[in-house]
Structure 1
Amino acid sequence: MARSQPAGALLRPWPKSQATPGLALPGFEGPGWSLAEAKGRPVLLNFWASWCEPCRAEMPSLELLAQRHEREGLLVLAVNQRETDAAIRRYLQLMPISLPVLRDLDGSTSRAWGARVLPTTVALGRDGKALFTVMGELDWTGPQARQWIAPLFS
């Protein structure tokens, strides 16, 4: 099981020698989703769990980021790691979000994308290729996040 990351976020470029994994996941009480659907759009894949305090803390700023950059086509997806429908439902009742929630039922998608600690967010360019990973909690509306995500919109 993934550990939660201590306070502070760490940016890691995606290894040039590592291919971008595929992604096709069921949705939580909604449609499933595959990476092919995002062609031409920048994407943030946020790997999280309801028991992860840093995940819960950063979720509102991720949602605000998605709203602020909707015109630029940004798609932010919340990929829940290995939790039951009941656990996700309880979380969403306490903290409703409008981000699409996808289910990584067995953790294999999180492993393929290098999400060994939570939260982990992977940024993909408009070409569908992974650019970088942010490990740990980040204020996605703050200056550090703005600097990191700026290349997604160029």
Structure 2
Amino acid sequence: MFKKKIIHYAKELLFVILFMTLIANILSLYKSQDLNKEALKITTFKLIDNSKYQIDNTKPLLIHFWATWCPTCKLESSNIELLSKYYNVVTIAVNSGSDYEVHSYLKERDLNFKVVNDTNSELSKIFNIQAYPTTFIYDKKQNLVFGEVGYTSTFGLFLRMWWVDFLK
């Protein structure tokens, strides 16, 4: 009897997880419809350490919009950190304070990815960002291949980057 209850609750939990995943993906698809789908026209970014990041035209690029005040962004930051060790990744902190404040935030969490500080939301307007986090993946020719709003798992990000890198 006890075993049947556990199996019953496990099935219900699995159903809820699958249902919530489906809803999250539908919401992400809906929110991503308004993103800027044009090819990337930006060739360099000014990072918070005052260096310039030149886009490498031989590899795909992930651009990740986030904010220090965004709880989902905090959850996803370790995914972005890991991905940045293997691929070209530029992150854009939006309305997150001064360069010093963003740098302190990164240091507290042991994050080392490249960061642009979008204090006036200029870049987020260009990309038409409405929610955070938002992630764009461009191919070697700077054409948009994936645009997604919301949390993405490490596996999901790696799979998308692999797809763009090897199959495009």
TM-score scaled by length of structure 1: 0.76
Query: What is the CA distance between 1:21 and its match in structure 2?
Result: 4.1
Aligned partners of 2:71, 2:37: CA distance in 1, in Å? 30
Structure-2 separation of matches of 1:101 and 1:126: 21
Structure showing the higher strand proportion among its residues: 1
**Structure ID, larger Rg:** 2
Q: CA contact under 8 A between 1:123 and 1:131: conserved in structure 2?
A: yes
Q: Is residue 83–residue 158 contact of structure 2 (8 Å, CA) maintained in 1?
A: no
User: Which residue does 2:91 correspond to in 1?
Assistant: 78
- What is the letter of the counterpart of residue 138 of structure 2? L
Larger fraction in helix = 2
Q: Pick 1 or 2: higher relative contact order, CA cutoff 8 A, min separation 6.
A: 1
For structure 1, the residue ranges without an aligned partner over 5 or more in a row are: 1-6
Number of corresponding residues:
138
Against the structure 1 CA distance between its residues 75 and 100, is the aligned structure 2 distance closer, same or farther, given a 3 Å change threshold? same
Q: Whole-Å Cα distance in 1 between the matches of residues 40 and 140 of structure 2?
A: 15
When the two chains are superposed, the root-mean-square deviation of aligned CA atoms in Å is: 2.6
**Per-residue deviation at 1:81?**
1.0
* Residue 87 of structure 1: how far off its partner (Å): 2.6
Which 4+ residue blocks in structure 1 deviate beyond 6 angstroms?
none
CA drift of 1:136 comes to: 0.3
Unaligned stretches of 5+ residues in structure 2 = 1-22
Aligned-residue identity in percent: 18
User: Is 2:42 aligned against 1:28?
Assistant: no
2:38 aligned counterpart, secondary structure: coil
- What letter matches 1:133 in structure 2? G
2:72 counterpart of 1:54: yes
* TM superposition score normalised by structure 2: 0.70
